Amino acid sequence: MGSKEDNTRIKFYTCGCFCTDNIFLEEYKLHVRFISAQKFRIDYQEVLATRGCSTDIHFEELLKKIEREVERRRQLCVKSAERAALIKEVYEPLHKELYYLQESYLAPEFLKIVNYCGSDGASEQGLLELILPLAAKRVYQFPVFSKKFCKKLIEELEHFEQSEAPKGRPNSMNNYGTLLNELGFDEGFITPLREKYLQPLAALLYPDCGGHCLDSHKAFVVKYAIHEDMDLSYHYDNAEVTLNVSLGKEFTEGNLYFGDMRQVPLSDSECVEVEHHVTEGLLHRGQQMHGALRISSGQRWNLIVWMRASRERNKLCPMCGKKPRLAEGQGFADGFTEDSQTGTSLNMSCVLN
Instruction: Give the separation between CA 20 and CA 46, rounded to whole angstroms.
Output: 20
What per-residue confidence (pLDDT) applies to 8?
52
Instruction: Give the separation between CA 210 and CA 188, rounded to whole angstroms.
Output: 24
The answer to whether residue 346 scores a pLDDT higher than 80 is: no
Do the beta carbons of residue 172 and residue 81 sit within 8 Å? Answer: no
Sign of CA dihedral 285, 144, 257, 297: negative
Instruction: Give the separation between CA 51 and CA 231, rounded to whole angstroms.
Output: 19
Task: Name the DSSP class of 331.
Answer: T
Q: How confident is the model at residue 173 (pLDDT cuts 50, 70, 90)?
A: confident
Q: How confident is the model at residue 2 (pLDDT cuts 50, 70, 90)?
A: very low
Give mean pLDDT, residues 168-194. 94
Alpha carbon 193 to its chain's center: 15
Please give the single-letter amino acid code of residue 339: D
Instruction: Report helix angle 37-50 to 56-74, nearest 10.
Output: 130
Smallest Cα–Cα separation from 303: which of 259, 229, 245? Answer: 245
E strand or H helix that includes residue 87: helix 76-90
At 46-58, the pLDDT tens digits run 999 999 999 999 9
User: 222: helix, coil or strand?
Assistant: strand
pLDDT, the chain, mean: 92
Instruction: Give the separation between CA 39 and CA 100, rounded to whole angstroms.
Output: 48
The answer to whether residue 347 scores a pLDDT higher than 60 is: no
For residue 26, give every residue at least 6 positions away whose Cβ sits within 8 Å of its Cβ, in sequence order, or none: 173, 233
Give mean pLDDT, residues 243-257. 94
Give the predicted TM-score (pTM) of the model. 0.91
At 126-140, the pLDDT tens digits run 999 999 779 999 999
Q: Are strands 325-328 and 345-347 parallel, antiparallel or unpaired?
A: parallel
Q: What is the CATH number of domain 4-15+82-347?
A: 2.60.120.620
What are the residue ranges spanned by the domains of the chain?
4-15+82-347
Do the beta carbons of residue 310 and residue 216 sit within 8 Å? Answer: yes
299-309 per-residue burial string, b: 16 or more CB within 10 A, e: under 16: bbbbbbbbbbb
Please give the single-letter amino acid code of residue 263: Q
Distance set, CA 71 to CA 232, 312, 346 (Å) = 23, 28, 20
Task: Name the DSSP class of 31.
Answer: E
Across the strands, what pairs with 23? 32
